[in-house]
Amino acid sequence: MIQAGLETKNELTPPLWLLAELTYRCPLQCPYCSNPLEIAKYQNELTTEDWIRVMQQARKMGATQLGFSGGEPLVRPDLETLIQEARRLGYYTNLITSGVGMDEARVKRFKEAGLDHIQISFQASDEELNNFLGGTKTFQHKKEMARIVKEYEYPMVLNIVIHRKNIDQIRDILEMTVELNADYVELASTQYYGWSRVNVDQLLPTREQLANAEIVAKEYQEKMKGKSRIIYVIPDYFENRPKPCMNGWGSIFLTIAPDGTALPCHEAGQLPIEFPNVKDFSIADIWHDSPGFNHFRGFGWMKEPCRSCDEKEKDFGGCRCQAFMMTGDAANADPVCDKSAHHQALLEDIARIAELAEQESHHKVGEKPLVFRNMKNSKKITKEAEKTVTV
Amino acid sequence: MNISPSDIPEVAPTFRVQWEAVQNCYVVLYPEGMVKLSTSAGEIMKRVDGQTAVDAIIKDLETAFLEDDLESDVIKFLEVAYDTGWIRNKK
Ligand code: SF4
Ligand code: SF4
């Protein structure tokens, strides 16, 4: 009896984390952006009323953390209204922003509306690289915004996405976060989804770069103890076991895309699975009953080697999107796992990119241009993808 | 952290303590995270209001739970809460 129970569904927990991707519009064009390549297809954004209904329903089920993200959430003029309602409902409200589109007056309004926390992302610690990577001139403005955020007594998280182009500056980056008085620092290694996957050849760091960066990160973690929490995560491509992705499919995370599509994680839209829309269903229906959210719950869907693996309750077989991207089947083990038959191919790919990086650094080959994340490139990529499908 | 009976603790501005009906417990919320409090920890944290001194919090708990030796437990928990930054002394 108990055995059978384990094989079917785990006890269903409520969603704790609601990620509201308010829009995919963004003034920046980061080539490592994890938004889907099809951003141009999401013109039909949810209305203020839609979002309020979603927040109410998820809160009633027990969600406590709410992230406003995007794209750039500041693009939405109703952000203040949404924050106010979210706070009234009892959410801990997080604004995840590039800082572009923010000014002191708006920070003040957010405070009055009850916003709990602001996370600002930087592309790099020096102006030129920051502006290059973001595709616009924003560096000084971001620094100014970070100062204002502290002035208004927000806990401030500075998020810097780390990759081959900026990883060697990690010391300068950390110095900058010290100077700006960050409460938390997330040195977030690029995760290779969406746009960063397209640019992986130019972005994936080498093993040596990672080893050096880790030493510096550790040094600052020690030094800043009690003042600032520094979180450094290496890209999982270099691990032998996958991350417990989303803490298990449909177990605590709920992402709503700008058009209202409900997803178990913000990358899941790329999977060949149908996901429900909040315009058609309530959050409770979506969470409990939709085929999309039940698809990879529990362990019954697993194939070998995960099915008979004694670590499956620890990592749930890793990331479904990574399995899909690298093996063509989302039910396979995440190739990051060295028990996966596809792990070898991943290692070879890393070696190929390391070789490329080596040649680049000796100027034997020209650097491949980065594909910037913008609507024009999105339309182009989507069109090309459709062509290949119809052939 | 050395706690004196006259200290008046308050929840630090980067944290929030609230009752969660669905979880059936008090929780501490912070950027992108949440800690569920045990019943006793919740009872202590809900009395941390920036007005009540440590000795008064202890007395109040002892009255509420009909106990007379809670002091060391309460102090132990408050030390952890100070160290993790959940609470600070009201200035
Ligand atoms: S990663 Fe860059 S381009 Fe993507 S949403 Fe964030 S700021 Fe905009
Ligand atoms: S085989 Fe599957 S369950 Fe086992 S460690 Fe690897 S990914 Fe995790």
pLDDT digits (tens, 9 = 90+) for A227-250: 888 988 878 888 899 988 888 899
- Is residue A373 in contact with ligand 1, taking CB distance under 6 Å? yes
d(CA B54, CA B3) in angstroms, rounded, equals 8
User: A67 by DSSP, 3-state: which?
Assistant: strand
The pTM is what? 0.87
- pLDDT for position A6: 35
CA separation, residue A360 to residues A88, A128, A201, A349, A365 (Å): 53, 20, 11, 16, 5
- Is residue A26 in contact with ligand 1, taking CB distance under 6 Å? yes
The answer on pLDDT for A391 being more than 60 is: no
The answer to whether residue B63 is domain-embedded is yes
The answer to whether residue B91 is domain-embedded is no
**Confidence bin at B51 (pLDDT 50/70/90):** very high
CA separation, residue A225 to residues A38, A121, B49 (Å): 41, 22, 27
d(CA A111, CA A126) in angstroms, rounded, equals 29
* Contact criterion met (CB < 8 Å) for B14 and A62: no
Angle at A195 between CA A230 and CA A188, to 5 degrees: 5
The answer on pLDDT for A11 being more than 80 is: no
d(CA A61, CA A177) in angstroms, rounded, equals 37
Looking at every residue in chain A, the average pLDDT score rounds to 87
The answer on pLDDT for A170 being more than 80 is: yes
- pLDDT for position A41: 83
The answer to whether residue B30 is domain-embedded is yes
CB A19 within 8 A of CB A262: no
Which CATH number characterizes residue B62's domain?
Answer: 1.10.10.1150
Residues of chain B with a CB closer than 8 angstroms to some CB in chain A: 13-14, 16, 18, 20, 22-23, 27, 29-34
The residues with which A162 forms a beta bridge, in sequence order, are A189
Q: What percentage of chain A carries pLDDT values higher than 70?
A: 94
The answer to whether residue B41 is domain-embedded is yes
* Contact criterion met (CB < 8 Å) for A90 and B34: no
- pLDDT for position A336: 93
Helices (H), chain A: 2-7, 48-61, 79-89, 104-113, 127-134, 139-151, 170-179, 194-198, 200-203, 207-223, 283-289, 291-294, 312-315, 320-327, 343-361, 375-390
**Confidence bin at A113 (pLDDT 50/70/90):** very high
Rounded to two decimals, the ipTM of the complex is 0.83
The answer to whether residue B34 is domain-embedded is yes
The answer to whether residue B3 is domain-embedded is no
Ligand 2: distance of its center to the CA of A253 in Å?
Answer: 21
The answer to whether residue B4 is domain-embedded is no
* Contact criterion met (CB < 8 Å) for B31 and A94: yes
Domain around B60: 9-85
Ligand 1: distance of its center to the CA of A2 in Å?
Answer: 46
The answer to whether residue B65 is domain-embedded is yes
Q: Residue B6: which of B55, B44, B49 has the closest Cα?
A: B55
Phi first, then psi, for residue A325 (nearest 5°) are -65, -40
The residues with which A156 forms a beta bridge, in sequence order, are A118
User: Number of structural domains, chain B?
Assistant: 1
Atom of ligand 1 nearest to the CA of A195: 4
Looking at the partner chain, which of A64, A94, A157 has a beta carbon nearest the beta carbon of B27? A64
**Confidence bin at A2 (pLDDT 50/70/90):** very low
Please list every protein residue whose CB sits less than 6 Å from any atom of ligand 2.
A 241-242, 305-306, 309, 311-312, 315, 317-318, 333-334, 337, 339
d(CA A96, CA A78) in angstroms, rounded, equals 15
Q: Which of A249, A315, A320, A334 to mutate to test ligand 2, by most ligand atoms within 8 A of the CB atom?
A: A315
- pLDDT for position A92: 95
